């Protein structure tokens, strides 16, 4: 039986709904998606539940109409600024007398890892195993069926403020859908866009959205840093609007048309005519005047990211590279050179087309779908090894550590 996975990306500029099919072999096929502009989120925080609910309603309605299916529940992303990740360890004695590890032991050790004292307004949304350790033997991915006396788990625990989740739940409930689980956005995007070598050698993932830039750093396959800054592509638009005295709409158009991160790569610095809003008159400027503004803001975003990474001491002896993603930076030519100058490291931009999506703005939704699919696959594997045909619906509800509590 195929599983249907539905997810929602609530972003600063838009909401996006994506529905995919997970077949018995674990392959994911996107069935449909829709986006809807949304202005109810500022700096990654829902500030207007009605506006978010209305955007969600019409977005979900579009997908329902497109696919002719009902969407009752969804997985939803939670942005970096709302989420903390810390590493925790748990250990249990293997319960069976013959010392064969069962999925019940795995569930028990997962519970142990979740057993942490948290502030009253904080809840766990996900537990991501880094490695299982059986009688001191580490780096085990799936311990079920192995023999041992002691089972340990080292895992990343993802937590966030209950109020944030309540606002997301409320917005979705107003749009008549329930929340299946919350997915930490940067972790999902990291899993989708970084290859295993990058995670091993070291990668600084900079995901520039509309209003927020998420930064996550991986090294030795582990997450080192997970944070965000409240600046994104919309700040470039704002700067153009203020600097050239044009409307936000015109500024967005100028950014999309002349989106370069460096004045040094302008090939033809020709004249362009703009509409000054305050004077209501037309004025002629050079392309370089737009690019200068973009250049300054892009440099500022990268410098802020560098400062954050430097503060954590990550750049000392760092031999990895920088990976750029997100709608705010993916279309700005020259961003690679700009980031190289600031970080002094190799840089690449994620090719969203190679991920099977038509635009950089769909990467988070795709990442959420893939993340859920991978978790269903691995949970089904460890929870259903005694059964040739595991009940996926059951596995989804019972075993996923990231289900809504």
Measured distance CA(362)–CA(355) in Å, rounded: 10
Exposed/middle/buried for residue 22 (C-beta within 10 Å: 0-12, 13-18, 19+)? buried
Under the criterion CB under 6 A, does residue 40 sit at the interface with ligand ATP? no
**110 or 236: whose CB is closer to ligand ATP?**
236
Under the criterion CB under 6 A, does residue 379 sit at the interface with ligand ATP? no
Q: How far is the CB of 33 from ligand ATP (least distance, A)?
A: 13
**103 or 214: whose CB is closer to ligand ATP?**
214
Pick from 160, 202, 209, 320: which binds Mg ion (CB under 5 A)?
Answer: 209
**171 or 364: whose CB is closer to Mg ion?**
364
Measured distance CA(205)–CA(226) in Å, rounded: 10
Distances (CA, A) of 7 to 20, 30, 59, 311: 9, 11, 12, 35
Phi-psi map region of 327: left, alpha, beta (phi>0 left; psi -120 to 50 alpha): alpha
Under the criterion CB under 6 A, does residue 327 sit at the interface with ligand ATP? yes
Under the criterion CB under 6 A, does residue 396 sit at the interface with ligand ATP? no
Pick from 90, 233, 320, 384: which binds ligand ATP (CB under 6 A)?
Answer: 233
Size of the site for Mg ion (CB under 5 A): 3
**228 or 380: whose CB is closer to ligand ATP?**
228
Nearest to 244 by CA among 206, 210, 277, 270: 277
* Collapsed DSSP state (helix, strand, coil) of residue 209: coil
Q: How far is the CB of 13 from ligand ATP (least distance, A)?
A: 3
Site string for Mg ion, 313-352 (x = CB under 5 A): ----------------------------------------
Residue 130 and residue 222 in contact, taking contact as beta carbons nearer than 8 Å: yes
Pick from 129, 259, 320, 384: which binds ligand ATP (CB under 6 A)?
Answer: 259
Under the criterion CB under 6 A, does residue 252 sit at the interface with ligand ATP? yes
Measured distance CA(173)–CA(188) in Å, rounded: 23
From the CB of residue 398, how many other CB atoms can be counted at a distance below 10 Å? 13
Taking the CA atoms of the chain, what radius of gyration do you get in angstroms?
Answer: 23
Q: Which region among 49-57, 144-152, 231-239, 295-303 touches ligand ATP (by CB under 6 A)?
A: 231-239
Measured distance CA(272)–CA(262) in Å, rounded: 18
Under the criterion CB under 5 A, does residue 11 sit at the interface with Mg ion? yes
């Amino acid at each position: 039986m195929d599983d249907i996975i539905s997810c929602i990306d609530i972003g600063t500029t838009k909401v996006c709904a994506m529905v995919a099919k997970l077949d018995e072999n674990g392959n994911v096929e996107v069935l449909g998606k829709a986006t809807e502009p949304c202005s109810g989120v500022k700096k990654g925080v829902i500030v207007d539940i009605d506006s978010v609910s209305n955007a969600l309603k019409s977005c979900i309605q579009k997908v329902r109409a497109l696919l002719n299916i009902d969407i009752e529940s969804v997985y939803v992303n939670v942005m970096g600024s709302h989420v903390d990740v810390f590493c925790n360890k748990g250990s249990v004695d293997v319960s069976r007398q013959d010392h064969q590890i069962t999925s019940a032991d795995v569930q028990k050790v997962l519970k142990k890892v979740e057993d942490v004292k948290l502030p009253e307004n904080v809840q766990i949304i996900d537990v991501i195993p880094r490695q299982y350790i059986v009688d001191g033997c580490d780096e085990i991915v799936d311990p079920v069926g192995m023999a041992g006396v002691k089972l340990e788990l080292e895992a990343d625990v993802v937590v966030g403020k209950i109020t944030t989740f309540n606002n997301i739940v409320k917005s979705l409930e107003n749009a008549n859908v329930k929340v299946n689980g919350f997915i930490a956005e940067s972790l999902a995007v990291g899993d989708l866009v970084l290859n295993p070598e990058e995670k091993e050698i070291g990668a600084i993932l900079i995901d520039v959205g509309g209003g927020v830039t998420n930064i996550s750093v991986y090294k030795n396959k582990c997450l080192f840093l997970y944070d965000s800054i409240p600046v994104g592509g919309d700040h470039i638009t704002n700067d153009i609007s203020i600097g050239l005295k044009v409307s936000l709409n015109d500024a967005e158009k100028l950014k999309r048309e002349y989106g370069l991160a460096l004045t040094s790569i302008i090939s033809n610095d020709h004249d362009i005519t703009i509409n000054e809003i305050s004077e209501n008159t037309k004025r002629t400027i050079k392309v370089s005047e737009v690019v200068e503004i973009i250049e300054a803001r892009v440099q500022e975003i990268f410098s802020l990211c560098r400062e954050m990474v430097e503060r954590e001491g990550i750049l000392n002896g760092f031999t990895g590279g920088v990976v750029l993603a997100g709608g705010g930076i993916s279309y700005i030519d020259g961003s690679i050179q700009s980031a190289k100058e600031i970080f002094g490291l190799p840089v690449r931009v994620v090719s969203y087309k190679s991920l099977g999506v038509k635009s950089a703005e769909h990467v988070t939704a795709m990442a959420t779908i893939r993340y859920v699919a991978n978790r269903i696959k691995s949970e089904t594997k460890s929870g259903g090894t005694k059964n040739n045909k595991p009940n996926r619906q059951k596995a989804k509800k019972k075993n996923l550590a990231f289900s809504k509590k």
